[in-house]
Chains A and B, each alone.
Chain A
């Protein structure tokens, strides 16, 4: 049960938790009904990087993200955004929930949904204005959905729904983006669009945390990786931590030889 690996992303010394660390998680434990879902998470996420969070079903990937956003109660732990408590930095954190989390039969248009990303900046009681709509339209252009602005959301395909959620987070113009399975069951065009947006965000110095499930694309998409199975098995630059040994530790017997081999191939040879 060795948790403290050299590349695990833990920092021995608190002085490094400065304002330049976009998101750091200390001592995070989340429990549902007394049963811990994730425990003792200690992570400092790097700046301008695309970070993948992988692990088997039930490993607590979504819970980690939700705990960072205060959406589930924490048994213990602290979330710092650029060195300050998250509660006072909410505007700097964008959230892309799983698309199944809402009712897509809701009577709003795509533009209405994306404009919701600007609500935080608008503040109380101020109605959605032209600037909000313009920002929303720009965000839609970035995900290739500008033509769908006036569509009702129930007419969207799964991939288009995903891109709508991504655009909503973009409209918020945050510094850190937490994305819950943005690649789950989407079409090829959406996958390309999401990757493009991620890379563009990285170029602009943003940090993206992406819950991911497809091992075959890990090496291609992510600079940095958190391998999670209730605790952090490994965390660090993808090139260092995405090894067969860590995969086995993360997935246990659930990782079939086949997917392991596929992952190894994508990495350019067996590790």
Chain B
């Protein structure tokens, strides 16, 4: 038992420190692939062409098989990687052309065109593969590794090819940064300015095809799309700056490749491609939940805060209007639950909860069985909120031609975003119009229900 443990920790250290030749190749390759894929994928994602990567990837399969068959027919062994990848590139390019042709020549839309090309090309590839397997004197079985990737078979030459390609793709993407960003944001404006939009789209697709082809060995046809989309989508959760999104997507893609292939080397029978995609997915999940710009947690928190603020202001205004109606002294009069419930049609539970929150904010005194009393601070705040609200209502009536009976609902939501500057401006407007702006609180412009 202890022997096994120490053996495992030894493997662990060896993998982590990249001591094994093959592990080193695989980890560095997939990390590079992730970096380049993240950058190109960001452009694809923002161009809303994310699925194009998938169509290209599937279209590479018939290319690979056809290249293999051609080489065998010419008398070779067929398993010469650069030649196969060249075939993949040709297949991918053909797939691209097919999608673009369907889109422009027919009235079939983007998504359908990609679906057609993806399935037809892949189906063609599978059919060709069946034929290749029956070819005498060679074994086509190895081609299957392009479907899911096969990192174990990687050699130094493969790594070199992948590294050079990834760097070339990155350099091109950064060279055309400005043009591609313009293309992704506003194609019509780009065309009006005279940019060759088709050529730019071609560059983008060529970059995607490049990533796909060099990633076939490591991740495979089926999963390579993940390297393009997932890191970019994760990065988008953390930033709303284009440049930062590219950098982050590269970092997250690189990390997915590195961590994924490391884990795959540690676990027996865990194919690298799958583990890399799952790692990227885990990062995506975390980004989705915790992302600083649009993460679900942050958004949920903000929505909750806003709801609480609105609720508090509703409570205070209801209390103020009740006291105003009764002409009562706010310091001694109890605001009754029953009256409030009538006014706001809230459930008793929600009313209590709102009052408790207000108590925590020291806006009301400790809630009692029948109701609560506003604190001094609460009375001031209630006065301010009600005044804000009425000014806004008056403004809507005076300036926006909205029938008074429709005002309350609009005001109820907009009131809470009124800033102090706008309130002062409204007061000035009201004062000019003799609407009682000089008084501490203008009367409500429509009868209080």
**Chain A residues packing against B (C-beta within 8 Å):** 66, 69-71, 87, 90-91, 93, 95, 97, 101-103, 106-109, 112-113, 116, 119-120, 122, 124-128, 152, 154, 168, 172
Q: A-B pairs with CB below 8 Å: how many?
A: 73
List, sorted by A's number, 6 A–B pairs whose CB atoms are closer than 8 Å. A71-B192, A87-B194, A93-B192, A101-B186, A102-B185, A103-B48
* Residues in A whose Cβ lies below 8 Å from that of B191: 69-71
Chain B 188-220 per-residue mask, 1 if CB under 8 angstroms from chain A, else 0: 110111110000000000000000000000000
CA distance A95 to B177 in the complex (A): 22
* Residues in A whose Cβ lies below 8 Å from that of B195: 119-120
Q: Is the CB of A95 within 8 A of B242?
A: no
In angstroms, how far is the closest chain A Cβ from the Cβ of B340?
35
Q: Is the CB of B175 within 8 A of A154?
A: no
Q: Is the CB of B188 within 8 A of A107?
A: no
CA distance A205 to B218 in the complex (A): 61
Query: What 4 A-B pairs are tightest by C-beta distance, nearest first?
Result: A90-B194, A95-B192, A152-B240, A120-B193
Q: Is the CB of A95 within 8 A of B245?
A: no
* Residues in B whose Cβ lies below 8 Å from that of A152: 240-241
The B405-424 residues at the A interface (CB cut-off 8 A) are none
Q: Is the CB of A124 within 8 A of B185?
A: no
* Residues in A whose Cβ lies below 8 Å from that of B194: 87, 90-91, 120
Whether a CB of chain A sits under 8 angstroms from the CB of B83 is: no
Q: Is the CB of A107 within 8 A of B236?
A: yes
In angstroms, how far is the closest chain A Cβ from the Cβ of B50?
14
**Chain A: which residue is nearest B184 at the CB level?**
A106
CA distance A30 to B242 in the complex (A): 37
Whether a CB of chain A sits under 8 angstroms from the CB of B323 is: no
* Residues in A whose Cβ lies below 8 Å from that of B192: 69-71, 90, 93, 95
Interface core residue of B46, B177, B179, B189 (most chain A CB under 10 Å): B189
Q: Is the CB of A154 within 8 A of B240?
A: yes
Task: Decide: A109 near B241, CB < 8 A? Known: A70-B191, A71-B191, A101-B188.
Answer: yes
CA distance A107 to B245 in the complex (A): 8
* Residues in A whose Cβ lies below 8 Å from that of B343: none
CA distance A26 to B193 in the complex (A): 22
The B315-363 residues at the A interface (CB cut-off 8 A) are none
Whether a CB of chain A sits under 8 angstroms from the CB of B384 is: no
Task: Decide: A116 near B240, CB < 8 A? Known: A97-B188, A107-B245.
Answer: no
Whether a CB of chain A sits under 8 angstroms from the CB of B176 is: yes
Q: Is the CB of A107 within 8 A of B242?
A: yes
**Chain A: which residue is nearest B193 at the CB level?**
A120
Whether a CB of chain A sits under 8 angstroms from the CB of B79 is: no
Q: Is the CB of A112 within 8 A of B242?
A: yes
* Residues in B whose Cβ lies below 8 Å from that of A103: 48, 185
Whether a CB of chain A sits under 8 angstroms from the CB of B178 is: yes
Q: Is the CB of B178 within 8 A of A128?
A: yes
Say which residue of A87, A109, A116, A128 sits within 8 Å of B186 (CB atoms).
A116
